[in-house]
Amino acid sequence: MILQGKTGNWEIICGLEIHCQIISKSKIFSSASTEFGVDANQNVSFVDAGMPGQLPVLNEECVRQAVKTGLGLRAEINKYSEFSRKNYFYADLPQGYQITQFVHPIVGEGVVTVDLDDGTTKDIRIERMHIEQDAGKSIHDMSPSKSFIDLNRAGVGLMEIVTKPDFSAPEEAGAFLKKLRSILRYLGTCDGNMNEGSMRCDVNVSVRPEGSHELRTRCEMKNVNSVKFVMQAIESEAKRHIEVYESGGTVEQETRQFDPVSGQTKVMRKKEFAHDYRYFPEPDLPPLVLNDEYIEKIRCDLPELPDAKKERFIKTMGLTKYDAAIICENREVAEFFEKAAAGHDGKKVANWLMGDFFAMLNRKNLSVENSPVSAENLGLLVELIESNVISGKVGKEVFEIMSETGENPQKIVEEKGLKQVSDLGAIEAIIDKVIAANPDNLNAYRNGKTALKGWFVGQVLKESRGKANPQLVNKILDEKLA
Could you list the residues that contact other proteins (CB under 8 A)? 24-26, 30-33, 39-46, 49, 57-63, 82, 87, 89-91, 138-140, 143-151, 268-269, 276, 278, 281, 283, 285-289
CB of 12 to other proteins, least distance (A): 27
* CA–CA separation, 382 and 267 (whole Å): 56
- Closer Cβ to other proteins, 25 or 465, answer by number: 25
Is 126 strand, coil or helix? Answer: strand
CB of 41 to other proteins, least distance (A): 4
* CA–CA separation, 323 and 314 (whole Å): 9
* CA–CA separation, 2 and 7 (whole Å): 13
CB of 128 to other proteins, least distance (A): 18
Q: What is the helix (H) or strand (E) element at residue 341, kind and residue range?
A: helix 331-341
- Closer Cβ to other proteins, 23 or 382, answer by number: 23
Is 257 strand, coil or helix? Answer: strand
Closest of 373, 442, 434, 435 to residue 409, by C-alpha: 373
CB of 289 to other proteins, least distance (A): 7
Direct distance between the N- and C-terminal alpha carbons of the chain, in angstroms, rounded to an integer: 61
- Closer Cβ to other proteins, 88 or 322, answer by number: 88
- Closer Cβ to other proteins, 41 or 351, answer by number: 41
Determine phi and psi for 163, rounding to 5 degrees. -95, 165
CB of 339 to other proteins, least distance (A): 30
Query: What type of residue sits at position 160?
Result: E
* CA–CA separation, 459 and 320 (whole Å): 37
- Closer Cβ to other proteins, 157 or 395, answer by number: 157
- Closer Cβ to other proteins, 276 or 293, answer by number: 276
Alpha-helical (H) ranges within 406-482 are 409-415, 424-437, 439-446, 452-463, 470-481
CB of 31 to other proteins, least distance (A): 4
- Closer Cβ to other proteins, 146 or 213, answer by number: 146
CB of 150 to other proteins, least distance (A): 6
The DSSP-derived string for 67-104 is: HHHHHHTT-PBPSEE--EEEE---TT-TTSEEEE--SS
Tell me how crowded residue 261 is: count the other CB atoms within 10 A of its CB.
5
